[in-house]
Amino acid sequence: MNKKNIGDRGENLAEEYLKSKGYVILARNWHSYKRELDIVALHNGIYVFVEVRTRKFGSVLSPAETVTRKKQRFLVDAANLFLQQKGLDGESRFDIISISYEYGQAVIEHIENAFYPFQKN
């Protein structure tokens, strides 16, 4: 299975997981101006921007550890653009769903409030 297939499979699992927890999916693989968001959802009145990371068993870094500061800035910019383009306003947060495959089984870890937007220096 190639990297794209693994990623697509992980995003499908993440979407189903979120739906099972009562999240309403607003967008998936949203793109604009070289910005991309894996999943945008609404949960309890909060806009949730979800970065999905999928890795094969035995990877050196956990999926969540691969979301660098640079990637976080990119996600914050994308989220702001999404809200602006859709005319939405309200509370939001950034989550990471990491999916690892261990012995053929998908292990899903949902990290709510994985990081917070920060001020540019």
Burial class, 23, CB count within 10 angstroms (exposed 0-12 / middle 13-18 / buried 19+): buried
Let me know how long the chain is.
121
- By the 8 A CB rule, do 77 and 30 touch? no
Q: Tell me which CATH code domain 3-115 carries.
A: 3.40.1350.10
More confident residue, 105 or 3: 105
Mean pLDDT of 105-114: 92
Confidence at 54, pLDDT banded by 50, 70, 90: confident
C-alpha pair distances (Å), 25 with each of 8, 44, 66, 73, 100: 16, 12, 24, 22, 22
Taking the whole predicted model, whether its pTM rises above 0.85 is answered as yes
